[in-house]
Amino acid sequence: MFLAQAHARLADALDGLDPILGPLGQRFADAGFELALVGGSVRDALLGRGMPDLDFTTDARPDDILRLITGWADAHWDIGRRFGTIGMIRSGYQIEITTYRAEAYDPESRKPTVAFGDSLDDDLLRRDFTIGAMAVRLPARVFVDPFGGLADLEAGRIRTPGSAEMSFGDDPLRMMRAARFTSQLDFAAAGEVVEAMTGMAERIDIVSAERVRDELVKLVCGAAPRRGIELLVDTGLAERILPEVAGLRLERDEHHRHKDVYQHSLTVLDQAIELESRYAARQEKAGIAEGDPQRLPVPDFVVRFAALMHDIGKPSTRRFEPGGAVTFYHHDVVGAKMTAKRMKALHFDKDTTKKVARLVELHLRFYGYGDAGWSDSAVRRYVTDAGDLLPRLHILTRSDVTTRNRRKAERLAHAYDDLEERITALAEQEKLDAIRPDLDGKQIMALLDIPPGREVGEAYRFLLEERMEHGPLGEERAAAVLREWWDARQG
């Protein structure tokens, strides 16, 4: 059944693309060259997925490709020419055509050496996985699958066309891609792939941090990132790129119950993904615009990665107390620093790093709310400290409840429901998302008759504290409070 449906989906996709595939294939055939739709384009068509980008391969050399597409493409570029790739736009599709090639990594080099080939089957053999080593010859539309990629799609299996050792030796980043595809497609890696990844894990060290980072982001944003993370940890790759996550396996949670901190973190990740969609739908219903800083993208790397990393500070803060209790005091602060350090090593941008680290730092802030209750000023501080990250903090805090004790879980959920309701109520009253003192800097300088400088900042912070503690004061009351504070300082 799957095979018949897959072929039907492929035929439908090819029919829809005929205005591109037909003329392009004919141009190459008339010039005496082969052309085939290949790789992810064919895989996605077989799965019934959208195909915004189209990848082709050919025995034509880059100069020949350029000659054949000039005047037909709406636009083209040759930035990948030295690697045999010519890019173009046609009818809204982004297209890449690459000369048959062989790639191999020098054992000591991060950069591939490229040699052009003359055979489609040889080109497919050098591709990363069988599910990307399928092609459709054009213009005749002949399906080519020499390594069983379609069967692997049916089985939900990640396998290499040749030996896994040869594939990962050619390009060690393919080990990261294997983990990424298990996440994106919710597939399992074949035994020989897992074995090769385990034996060759140290080879990832020669790959640039940027390339590793990009694969990690795709993995975390996939449909089943837990699968990808588990594969990285089980094979030892995580010890080289995310050692803090791998280290969580050794730590039992503070209750010594059914799961260790590693499994807890994976469960938090799963739950964050589920809540991510709910909160995004709620925001859309509320009319929060796409450009709003608090608007959640789906998938959202920031909240997912924070969920994965939120407890990495526990191993270094674990303490055994008299009576057998275990504590992890300040693991939130320590974990935030560790997260920022790891993301810097992976060359993440400063903004993303700051957001993820801040969520890790704030993930415990809610606890105690249900028992002791918070004043309005405490609620204001919670919102102010979270800033634009507030929806993500809601997700992370709720996801961090993984207890099997139903009564405890329900109590925490009700407490957070109450907190969100209070935040909403206060926001309606005070425009909480933009808390500012009742007087600005110019008003402070005029009232106190002081020039710009440190004292203005101190007065501003004093008024902000008053605003946080007591809510809106109004300009008249704020001025009186400020004068009283200033007089006391001067006396």
CATH code matching the domain that covers 1-155, chosen among 3.30.460.10, 3.60.21.10, 3.90.1150.10, 3.40.50.620: 3.30.460.10
What are the start-end ranges of the H helices in 83-202? 120-125, 149-155, 164-170, 173-185, 191-199
Write the pLDDT tens digit of every residue in 296-340. 999 999 999 999 999 999 999 988 888 778 888 899 999 999 999
What amino acid is encoded at 369 in this protein? Y
pLDDT at position 258: 39
Q: Is the pLDDT of residue 370 over 70?
A: no
- Which of the 8 DSSP states describes residue 252? B
Out of 33-42, 195-204, 441-450, least confident range: 441-450
Beta-carbon neighbour count of residue 489 at 10 Å? 12
- Residue spans per domain, the chain: 1-155, 156-241, 274-434, 441-490
Measured between alpha carbons, how far is 267 from 261 in angstroms, rounded to an integer? Answer: 10
Reported residue count of the chain is 491
Query: Which stretch of DSSP H or E encloses residue 74?
Result: none
Contacts of 191 (CB under 8 A, 6+ apart): none
Phi/psi at 98 (nearest 5 deg)?
-125, 135
Q: Which residues pair with 95 in a beta bridge?
A: 54, 88
Query: Which stretch of DSSP H or E encloses residue 133?
Result: none
pLDDT at position 109: 59
pLDDT at position 371: 65
CATH numeric code, 156-241: 1.10.110.30
Measured between alpha carbons, how far is 27 from 65 in angstroms, rounded to an integer? Answer: 10
Contacts of 447 (CB under 8 A, 6+ apart): 439, 479, 482, 483
What are the start-end ranges of the H helices in 224-260? 225-235, 238-241, 243-246
Whole-angstrom distance between the N-terminal and C-terminal Cα of the chain? 87
**What tokens were used for 299?**
């998938």
**What tokens were used for 344?**
């810097």
* Residue 258 or residue 82, greater confidence: 82
Measured between alpha carbons, how far is 159 from 266 in angstroms, rounded to an integer? Answer: 25
What amino acid is encoded at 463 in this protein? L
Chain center to CA of 335: 19
Tokens 């109590």 belong to which residue?
411
* Residue 156 or residue 290, greater confidence: 156
pTM for the whole structure: 0.85
Q: Tell me the pairing of strands 35-38 and 75-77.
A: unpaired
Q: Is the pLDDT of residue 254 over 80?
A: no
CA dihedral over 391, 392, 393, 395, signed as positive or negative: positive
SS3 11: helix
Q: What is the mean pLDDT of the chain?
A: 91
